[in-house]
Chains A and B, each alone.
Chain A
Amino acid sequence: MDLLKLFNALPGAAAQGLIWGLMAIGVYITYRILDVADLTVDGSMATGGAVAAVLIMSGCNVWLAILAAFLIGMVAGLVTGLFHTFMGIPAILSGILTQLGLYSINLRIMGGKANVAVNPNKYPLLVSLRNVRSLALSNPIFVLILFTAALILILYWFFGTELGCSLRATGANQRMARAQGINTSRNVLLGLMLSNGLVALSGALLAQYQGFADVNSGRGAIVIGLAAVIIGEVFFGKVFINFALKLTAVSIGAIIYYLVIQVVLWLGLNANDLKLLTALVVSVFLAVPFWRGKYFAKRAGKGEDHA
C-alpha cells in the first residue's frame, strides 16, 4: 500500500469534509435544535448545486449565485415546513415528499440534464479542487475554513437573540414554548428554512469544488450529516459546551468522516460499498443511546421489584 497516495488524498478529503460540514450544521439545526428529522436535505443539497452552477454559467457573480442557492434552499425548507405545520403531515414524510419533488425541479433547473459541468478555467469559482494542494489564498481548505468560521459566528449570534432563543425553546419543549407565547409553528418553519438554506449553500460550494452539479449529489446527504453530528458529539461532546464550539464540532465531525472514508478506500474498500458502510456505522451510533436507555431501564425495573 502506497502511503504517499493516501497523503495526496487527504487535503481533498479535508476540503470535502469542510463543505459537508456546512451541510451537517444545517442538519444539526433541525435534528438537534429543533428535534425534527428533516429528509428534505437530500434534495436541497442538489438544488443548491444546480442553482449555483446554472447561475455561474450564465455569468452571475459567484457570491450572488451562492446567496441565490441559500434562498432557494430556504424555499425548499418552507415547503417541507408547510407540509408539516399547515397540512399536518408528519415531519419525516414531509421531508421525503419535498425531496422527491425536488428531484424533478433540480432537473428542470439544469435544463433537463442530470449533470452540468462548471469549468474552473472559464468561471471565477470560489473553491475548486484544482487548488487543494496549492499554497495560495485560493486553496479551498483555507477559503472554506474562513467561510465556516463566519457562518458559525453568525449562527452563534442568531441563536443568542430573542428569536433564536425562542427557536431553541420550540425544539426543547413545544408546550412550554407556546405557554410562553412562542409561535411554535412559525419557528418550525423558520428552523427548516434556515437549515435547508445552509444545506443548499453547501451544495453550491460542492458543485464549484467538484466542477459540476449533479442531480444525484444529495443522495444519502442526511446520513452523512447525521454521521458528522454524531462523530462531533462523540469526540467533543464532553469538552465543547459552548454553542459555537458545538457547531465547530459538527464541522470537524464531517472532516473526520471524510478522512476516515479516504483511509478506508486506501485500505482497499470498493467505493461502491461506501454508502452501505456509512449506513451501517451511523445506524450503530444512533442505536447507542437507545441500547443504553434500555439497559438502564431494565435495571431500574428490577430495583422496583425488590422494593
Chain B
Amino acid sequence: MLKISHIAKTFNPGTITEKKALLDVDLHLNEGDFVTVIGGNGAGKSTMLNAVAGVFPVDRGTIEIGGVNVTNLPEFKRAAYLGRVFQDPMTGTAATMNIEENMALALRRGRPRGLRWGITNLERQMYREQLHTLGLGLEDRMASKVGLLSGGQRQALTLLMATLRTPKLLLLDEHTAALDPKTAAKVLEITQKIVDEQHLTAMMVTHNMKDAIAIGNRLIMMNEGRIVVDVSGEQKKKLTRADLMGLFEKAAGKELDGDRLLLS
C-alpha cells in the first residue's frame, strides 16, 4: 500500500543549519498494516511522514501509494490518497469555520470542487451520525466554530475528517502528544476503533513506547535518518520494552537516549 524506496532529504544544504534528516529510508507497508514509528528527537520520524504527505520534495528515491508513484505530486494532490492528523490540534481543522463545514471540506478531499453548494442536508445527517460515534457530544454542536473545541475534541474531529473518505493511508504524526494523558488515551482508543472498522493502512509516529508496543501489527524505530529496527507479526506481539531497547542498541551501536521516549 505504501512503498518508500531509498528516499533521502537534507534541509538547508550547504548552509550552517544543514540537517540531514533522512539518509536512506526504505519501507514497504502491506494493505492493512498499522505500523507505529518511534525514535528520539531528530531521528526523522516526522520528516518521513511529511515526505510521504508531500510537504516538501525529497532529494532522492521514490514514494508509491497504492501503486501510484506520487514522488512528484504536490501536497494537495497526494491528499486524495491520504488521511492526516497532526501533532498540533490547531493544524488539522479550520478554527474559524464550523464543525459541519470542516467535515464538508474533508468529504470533498480528492474530488473536484465546483460551484455546487458546499454542504448538503443529506451530508449533515451523515455527519451527525459519524460525530455521534465519537461519543463527545459534538453531534449537537455542528454549527459551532471549531476554534471553540478543546484540543482532544479537535483531534477526534480531525481523525474523523481524515477517514470520512477512506484513505489509502492514514498518517498520524504524534497526534496525541499535545493532549493530557486521559484525553490522549481516549483519542488513541478512537484511532484504534476507526482503523479496525475501516481496515485502514496506517502509520503512527509516537513518543510513547508503551503505545508503540501495544498498538498495531508492526513497529519501526528510527535513528539519525534511518530505520534501525523493524518488528512485525508474532515478534511484535511478544515485544517488551527491554527487547526494544536491546534491539535498538544492537542496531544503532549505542544506548537509547531520548529522555522523552523512556519517561513516557
Contact = CB atoms under 8 A, between A and B. Distances in A.
A172 B97 contact: yes
A178 B118 contact: no
Contacts of A158: 115
A176 interface: yes
Interface stretch (B59-67, B100-108, B183-191, B222-230): B100-108
Contacts of B82: 179
B76 A178 contact: yes
A162 interface: yes
B40 interface: no
A180 B96 contact: no
A11 interface: no
Interface string A155-178: 000101111111011001101111
Contacts of B110: 181
A176 to B, nearest CB: 6
Given A180-B106, A181-B77, A184-B76, A168 B53 contact: no
B116 A181 contact: no
Interface residues of B, number: 34
B114 A166 contact: no
B105 A180 contact: yes
Given A161-B114, A169-B105, A179 B80 contact: no
A273 B91 CA distance: 45
A179 B114 CA distance: 18
Contacts of A166: 105, 108, 113
A35 B84 CA distance: 24
A180 B109 CA distance: 5
Nearest to B147: A172
A242 to B, nearest CB: 12
Chain B contact residues: helix, strand, loop or mixed: loop
Contacts of A177: 76, 94, 105
Contacts of B109: 180-181
A283 interface: no
Contacts of B114: 161-163
Interface residues of A, number: 22
Nearest to A165: B118
B177 interface: no
Q: Could you say which of A163, A176, A177, A182 has the most chain B C-beta atoms within 10 Å of its C-beta?
A: A176
Contact of B108 (A160, A164, A181): A181
B195 interface: no
Contacts of A175: 86, 91
Nearest to A33: B96
Contact of A179 (B74, B79, B115, B116): B79
Q: Which of A158, A165, A184 has the most CB of B within 10 A?
A: A165
Contact of B116 (A161, A168, A169): A161
Given A172-B94, A178-B75, A160 B105 contact: no
**Best-surrounded residue of A160, A163, A179 (most CB of chain B within 10 A):** A179
Contacts of B117: 160-162
A168 B76 contact: no
B79 A173 contact: no
Contacts of A172: 94-97
Most chain B Cβ neighbours within 10 Å, of A158, A163, A181: A181
A134 interface: no
B92 interface: yes
B65 to A, nearest CB: 14
A173 B113 contact: no
Contacts of B74: 183
Interface of A: 158, 160-166, 168-169, 172-173, 175-184
Q: Considering the complex of A and B, which 8 residue pairs feature the smallest CB-CB distances, nearest first?
A: A181-B79, A172-B94, A165-B118, A162-B113, A181-B109, A173-B94, A161-B115, A178-B75
Interface of B: 53, 74-77, 79-80, 82, 84, 86, 90-97, 101, 104-106, 108-111, 113-119, 161
21 contacts: A158-B115, A160-B118, A161-B117, A162-B113, A162-B114, A162-B117, A163-B115, A166-B113, A168-B94, A169-B97, A172-B96, A173-B91, A173-B93, A176-B93, A177-B105, A179-B75, A179-B92, A180-B106, A181-B77, A181-B111, A182-B79
